[in-house]
Structure 1
Amino acid sequence: MQTAPARAEMTPGWVVVFLSLLLGIQPLATDLYLPALPAITAAFAAPMSQVQATLTALLLSFGAAQLVWGPVSDRFGRRPVLLAGLGAYVLASIGNALAANIEQLILWRIVQGAAMGASVMGARAIVRDLYAPADGARMMSKGLSGLGLFACISGPLGGWLTEHYGWRVTLAALAVFSAVALALVVLRFRETLPAPNPQALQPREMLRIWGRIARHPTFWAWALLAATSYGGLFTFLATSSFVFITVLGLSKTHYGLLMLSMSMVYITGTVVCRRLIPRLGVRRTVAVAAGFTLTGGTLCGVLALLGLHTTWAIMGPYYLFILAHGVHQPCGQSGAVSPFPQAAGAASALSGFVMMLTAFGMGTWLGTRMSTGAETGVYPLTNGLWFWAVVIAAVAWTLVQRHGEVRSAPMPAPGPTR
């Protein structure tokens, strides 16, 4: 696919670097501090529901903020949005580390989530700016491989920092990473938006664009695949530290190593994705991966019901689940945006909002069930994974197969200006 001259300065290698950094901010914001959750709970003497809110509030603001960042980036470009978002992320990370109580921590996590929305939304839009749909899925898988590398680092690093220096240092590490990302965007990032839409922020134009995206069945097929797959990942993230550290008695460092192994399997999944797409096509690749998802989730749930409450009775099946996640995410995220080359920011924003709304709903339910004792032991994790495995397979084998062929949707002509 030919690129406009303004975009020619950024090589494919730098595109992968920026995708990795911009997407990698999300697992760092979640995975790095997971080993610190029990310590934060003890430090603030906070109920589990409030501590869970540090994760769910971040994700809700992350999803909602994308609805703003998307149209803004279609109007002014990706670069200014990335600069604003990364700058706010640095400040929020410092605020997290200095929080005096759980309420302040939740507030700063909300700010951090909103800032994170600019980064992740921008990454998805950049892929659509530069690449055709099939190439976009492969390029997104490369960026998500980079995300996986950061996730590999996050678990062990978070466990080590928490164990040796405390949870505040763990949260402060996010400020260092985001400052480096901000510096690279300032120095090396080149604008990718082919032509800004001067009417993108006009209410009537925004409603017309949102309406066209929301009525497109291909958008929903891929957006729901990404959302349900992330729902399964989020269930693991929200419950695993309590299950493995509190219930099964692992050390924070040991837990961090489990997170490392999970991330390595995820990276393998993104590599498999890149290998299978040229041979099978995107939809058949997703269908094959859904078989692994359903097998892993079902085994996880059944083994728990049989009384096998051990680390490897959970992690063994979960490796199948997370391997398939490495296929579903690049295909889902790029597929949802692909039909809308003239409104990639808005489509990326809506897809991200659906994904985070799913995670917020699951997080709220988990927080309530776990804090009241309605769900105990390993079951919040194992039953949650089983549930999402069934839903993911249903989406992959029905909606994606029927509506997943990507065709660009003609956007409505801009309304009259005032």
Structure 2
Amino acid sequence: MMFRKPAPTAAPVSVLLVLMVAMGPISTDLYLPALPAIQAAFSADVAGVQLTLSIYLGTFAICQILFGPLSDRFGRRSVMMGGMAIYFAASLVCVFAPSLEILILGRFLQALGACAGPVIARAIVRDIHGPEAAGRALARIAAAMGIAPLIGPVLGGYLTAQFGWQSCFVLTSIAGGMVLVGGFLLMSETNPYLDATATAPRQLMRNIGGLLRDRRFVGYTLAGTASYCGLFCFISGSSFVFIGILGVPAEVFGFCFSAAVVGFIAGAQIAGHMSNRQRALTIGTLFNGVFGVALLIPVLAGIETVWTILVPMVLYLIGMGLVLPHAQAGAVGDFGRIAGTASSLFGTVQYAIAAVVGVVVGLFLDGSALPMALGIALSGIAAIVAHFGLTRA
């Protein structure tokens, strides 16, 4: 008897999509506690070990542009399987890496495979749910995916302490293998518009140019990116501010960071129940702007406490939870025939700009919370401008 694949909206397929999207944060958050152990194992300097993180983030941002057009040409399923196969093999390279150079190569290949996950998942959701319901579906995925940064550092710390740094990559190998097998068993092809010209350079440039000239695509992409930049500002500066300036113990800092992540999960849960995309974006971007400024004002007044920073940040991330899934859905919603390319371009812009903003905040850290707070406030204001100036208009 032939195995019958479940319907594309079935719960197993939804779980598979969550895992695909979660490959990115799993591959960064899980191994962060292992960085000192990796440094000791290879007798490397801090800059060399940090390269295993920066090469991953840079590759993950840039290479997203590859997988969307490939999925428009060859289909979502085959491209997703190819990406996860690369990720699985790369994780094994990391496990058995005999030198730091090989580990860096493994991390590059991990990012290359992992970035297929969110690109293909967004396109699949657009294929299955259509332009209107995609936002609610992506919000549910985002809420589930938010668990990864909550448990990743804790789990990675335990694995490193008990079994060594390689165990973190053993777990990513298992996760990649599960997605690979799950895709083979569960996933049917969802792209009804296979286009043999989608990867032709001239057609690809024409598709990308058309997206960049579309006011709605640019508005949704910039609103989602600006909102996301606030999170990267917080990631870049929060440990320095909470531990280095405010004197929060390292073990307590993890709970502060988790509280902020809970804000994003709550916002995504709310977004999953909102069918009106413009309303969700309006409320979410206003949360970003208002509470980004609310975080900045006490810092400008010389008041820097855990609560004056953490409470506005939690509320900012509730706004991001509202904005991001509906911005993603809006960016791919009206472009069904090139949904993969639209998803790729959205992801590349989002991660590339956010990574640059995070680096800039890190460079300007000066013994106060001002660089981080200013970056978060400007990100929130930019989200409001993008939404009201482009998507609503």
Q: Structure 2 length normalisation: TM-score? A: 0.88
Unaligned runs of 5+ in 1: 1-5, 403-418
SS in 2 for 1:192: coil
Which of residues 304, 329, 332 is equivalent to 1:334? 329
Q: 1:8 to 1:185 in 2, by over 3 A?
A: closer
The correspondence for 1:318, drawn from 307, 313, 325, is: 313
Instruction: Write the letter of the residue equivalent to 1:391.
Output: A
1:401 paired with 2:374, answer: no
User: Which residue in 2 is equivalent to 1:381?
Assistant: 372
Contact 1:289/1:327 (8 A) holds in 2: yes
For the Cα contact (< 8 Å) 1:70–1:348, is it kept in 2? yes
Residue of structure 2 equivalent to 1:124 = 122
- Post-superposition offset of 1:296: 2.2
1:348 partnered with 2:339? no
In the aligned structure 1, how far is the partner of 2:236 from the partner of 2:105? Answer: 19
Q: Do the aligned partners of residues 102 and 256 (structure 1) sit closer, same or farther apart at CA in structure 2, a change above 3 Å counting? A: farther
For 1:144, which of 120, 142, 145 is the aligned residue?
142
Change (3 A) 1:235 1:386: same
Cα deviation per residue 1:147-188 (whole Å; 9 max; x = unaligned)?
112232224323444555554434443223222222221221
Residues 121-163 of structure 1, C-alpha deviations (whole Å, 9 max, x = no match): 1001101111222201111111111111223222432344455
| Structure 2 gap ranges (5+) | none
Relative to 1, partners in 2 of residues 1:213 and 1:361: Cα closer, same or farther, differing over 3 Å?
same
Root-mean-square deviation over aligned CA pairs: 2.8
Aligned-residue offset at 1:91: 2.7
SS of residue matched to 1:131: helix
- The 10-residue stretch of structure 1 (297-306 or 215-224) with the greater mean CA deviation from structure 2: 297-306
Aligned residue for 1:398, secondary structure, equals: helix
Aligned twin of 1:14: 12
Q: Distance in 1 between matches of 2:249 and 2:354?
A: 27
Task: Give the equivalent residue in structure 2 for 1:210.
Answer: 208
- Please name the residue that 1:239 is paired with: 237
The residue number in structure 2 matching 1:390 is 381
Q: Which residue of 1 aligns with 2:154?
A: 156
Q: Residues 35 and 256 of structure 1 are in contact (CA less than 8 Å); yes or no, is this contact kept in structure 2?
A: no
Q: Distance in 2 between matches of 1:33 and 1:244?
A: 21
Compared CA separation, residues 34 and 325, structure 1 to 2 (3 A): farther
Greater shift after overlay, 245-254 or 319-328?
Answer: 245-254
Alpha-carbon contact 1:290-1:396 (below 8 Å) kept: yes
* Percent identical residues: 33
Asked whether the equivalents of residues 38 and 242 of structure 1 are also in contact (C-alpha less than 8 Å), the reply is no
Does 338-347 or 152-161 show the bigger shift?
152-161
Q: CA deviation at 1:118?
A: 0.9
Alignment of 1:284 onto 2:279: yes
SS in 2 for 1:193: coil
State the distance in 1 between where 2:372 and 2:163 align: 29
- What code does the residue aligned with 2:384 have? A
Aligned mate of 1:57, from 46, 55, 58: 55
Distance across 2 between alignment mates of 1:337 and 1:180: 27
The answer on whether the counterparts of 1:140 and 1:334 sit within 8 Å (CA) in structure 2 is: yes
* Amino acid paired to 2:45: A
Q: Give the secondary-structure state (helix, strand or coil) at the position aligned to 2:193.
A: coil
Q: CA deviation at 1:100?
A: 5.9
Aligned residue type for 2:22: G
Aligned to 2:45: 46
- For residue 273 of structure 1, what is the aligned residue in structure 2? 271
Return the letter of the residue paired with 1:400.
Answer: T
Q: Between Structure 1 and Structure 2, how many residues are aligned?
A: 389
Mean Cα deviation higher: 91-100 or 208-217: 91-100
Compared with structure 1, are the counterparts of its residues 51 and 233 closer, same or farther at alpha carbon in structure 2 (3 Å cutoff)? farther
Moved more, 175-184 or 266-275: 175-184
Report which stretch shifted further, 182-191 or 257-266. Answer: 257-266
- CA apart distance, 1:8: 7.3
Structure 1 window deviating more from structure 2 (67-76 vs 175-184): it is 175-184
Q: Provide the residue aligned with 2:83 in structure 1.
A: 85
Amino acid at match of 1:395: A
Q: Which letter maps to 2:318?
A: L
2:173 maps to which of 171, 175, 185: 175
One-letter amino acid of the structure 1 residue matched with residue 31 of structure 2:
Y
For residues 236 and 104 of structure 2, the distance between their equivalents in structure 1, rounded to whole angstroms, comes to 15
Note closer, same or farther for the CA distance 1:116–1:79 as it changes in structure 2 (3 Å cut). Answer: same
Corresponding residue number in structure 2 for 1:405: none
Kept in 1: contact 2:215–2:391 (CA 8 A): no
196, 202, 223: which one aligns with 1:198: 196
Conservation of the 8 A alpha-carbon contact between 2:262 and 2:314? no
Contact 1:155/1:260 (8 A) holds in 2? no
